[in-house]
Amino acid sequence: PSALRLASVLLLGVPAAAYVAPQPGSRSVVERRAAVIPEFADFAVAEEFAPESQASVFGLAAASLGVGAVIGWLNARRQQVASVAGAAALAMAPAAGLAIVDYDAVKYLGGSDKVDINNANVQAYRQFPGMYPTAAGAIGSHGPYKSVKDIYDIPGLTEQVKGIMKKYEGQFVCLPVNEAYFIDRINNGMYR
- The pLDDT of residue 25 is above 60: no
21 C-beta neighbours (distance < 10 Å), count: 14
Residue 12 has pLDDT above 70, yes or no: no
Of 100, 132, 101, which Cα lies nearest the Cα of 115?
A: 132
Q: What is the pLDDT of residue 53?
A: 52
Higher pLDDT, 116 or 70: 116
Residue 125's closest CA among 179, 155, 178, 164? 164
Measured CA to CA, the distance from residue 138 to residue 156 in angstroms comes to 9
pLDDT tens digits, residue range 94-150? Answer: 655 555 556 778 888 888 899 999 999 999 999 999 999 999 999 999 989 999 999
Judge whether 34 and 25 are in contact, CB under 8 Å.
Answer: no
| DSSP secondary structure, 119-140, as one string | T--GGGGGGSTTTTTHHHHHHH
pTM: 0.47
pLDDT at 27: 55
> What type of residue is 109?
L
43-66 tens-digit pLDDT = 444 444 445 555 566 677 777 767
The pLDDT-based confidence of 26 (bands split at 50, 70, 90) is: low
CB-based contacts of 145, cutoff 8 Å, min separation 6: 117, 118, 151, 174
